[in-house]
């Protein structure tokens, strides 16, 4: 839906007439907004959504761009869980073929492009890994930013482990501590959480334990504003770092308690990713498992 269609959809489902929406102004004002004959001001939108008792975030989920991205996320997730499903693979490859990488591309499309390349280059010959030139352009783009939004974190979460040591440190300083963590939505927090996981596990492989502790401290700034699952991931990373630094098995037990909890909560896929990740890091296996957000 476009904005006008979404307004009509909510009004009809709330059983409201046009004259009942913006009661402080002439009825024709809302009519013109809903029919696209008047430019909608943000103050008017917030007034309308207040009348509908609909949060802005929920309203935005019905807009065309959001619905298209939902369709992509579903397809990406299907392929991630079953890369050999040929029908889903062909559909995702068709979408991928329509993307042309550049610094000027829409950040949503860049996040999708990066996610496809990072994950599926490991499974499909049709997808090549991110090139050095592409990585350099991504690095330049992110370093130009003063504030990271959802798709910035999406891109960074799926590339942080591909940069060199100096680039990783520069990007980490940009990304942490997270600005305005208390107002970030669930999707953005997921990418932030994923980025921190990939940052810390990359540094753990390099045995840069003090760096890990430093970034984990930054990641827990304004801790009272963090979601419960965010806190769980940070605690898991602290336990993993402490185990590698000390060899104390009590930290290892806490790690596997976390994995067992994920399994009990029905997060088997996520639990398996963590288990593979821990096993790989502890054994110093050079084959790095891809820990990637499957719900871009």
Are 179 and 257 in the same domain? Answer: yes
End of a domain among 36, 60, 84?
60
- In a domain, residue 126? The reply is yes
CATH number at residue 103: 1.25.40.400
Are 224 and 94 in the same domain? Answer: yes
**Which contiguous run of DSSP H or E holds residue 142?**
helix 132-143
- In a domain, residue 95? The reply is yes
Q: How many domains does the chain have?
A: 2
Task: Kindly state the greatest CA–CA separation across the chain.
Answer: 72
Are 154 and 195 in the same domain? Answer: yes
Percent helix / strand / coil, the chain, rounded to 5 = 70, 0, 30
CA–CA separation, 296 and 111 (whole Å): 8
Q: Per residue of the chain (296 residues), give pLDDT as tens.
A: 788 888 998 999 989 999 889 888 887 899 999 988 888 999 999 999 999 998 888 888 778 677 788 889 899 989 988 999 999 999 999 999 999 999 999 999 999 999 999 999 999 999 999 999 999 999 999 999 999 999 999 999 999 999 999 999 999 999 999 998 887 888 888 899 999 999 999 999 999 999 999 999 999 987 677 888 899 999 999 999 999 999 999 999 999 999 999 999 998 888 988 999 999 999 887 665 555 544 44
212 close to 224: Cβ distance less than 8 angstroms: no
Whole-prediction pTM value? 0.80
177: preceding bond cis by omega (within 30 degrees): yes
269 close to 294: Cβ distance less than 8 angstroms: yes
Both ends of the chain: CA-CA distance in Å? 20
CA–CA separation, 280 and 220 (whole Å): 26
Are 81 and 116 in the same domain? Answer: yes
């Amino acid at each position: 839906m476009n904005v006008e269609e979404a307004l009509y959809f909510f009004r009809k489902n709330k059983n409201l007439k046009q004259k009942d929406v913006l009661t402080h102004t002439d009825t024709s004002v809302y009519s013109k907004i809903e029919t696209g004959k008047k430019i909608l001001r943000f103050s008017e939108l917030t007034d309308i959504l207040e009348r509908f008792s609909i949060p802005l975030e929920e309203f935005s989920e019905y807009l065309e761009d959001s619905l298209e991205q939902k369709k992509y996320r579903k397809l990406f997730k299907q392929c991630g869980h079953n890369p050999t499903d040929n029908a889903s693979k062909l559909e995702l490859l068709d979408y991928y073929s329509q993307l042309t990488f550049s610094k000027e591309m829409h950040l949503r499309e860049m996040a999708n492009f990066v996610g496809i390349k990072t994950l599926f280059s490991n499974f499909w010959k049709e997808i090549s890994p991110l090139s050095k030139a592409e990585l350099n352009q991504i690095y330049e783009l992110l370093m130009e930013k003063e504030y990271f939004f959802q798709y910035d974190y999406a891109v960074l979460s799926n590339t942080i482990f591909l940069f060199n040591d100096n680039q990783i440190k520069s990007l980490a300083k940009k990304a942490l501590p997270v600005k305005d963590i208390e107002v970030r939505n669930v999707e953005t927090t997921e990418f932030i959480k994923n980025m921190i996981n990939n940052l810390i596990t990359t540094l753990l492989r390099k045995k840069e334990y003090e760096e890990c502790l430093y970034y984990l401290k930054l990641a827990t700034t304004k801790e009272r504003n963090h979601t419960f699952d965010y806190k769980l991931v940070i605690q898991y990373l602290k336990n993993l770092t402490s185990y590698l630094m000390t060899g104390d098995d009590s930290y290892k037990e806490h790690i596997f308690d976390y994995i067992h909890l994920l399994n009990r909560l029905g997060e088997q896929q996520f639990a398996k990713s963590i288990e593979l990740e821990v096993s790989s890091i502890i054994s110093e296996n050079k084959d790095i498992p891809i820990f990637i957000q499957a719900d871009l």
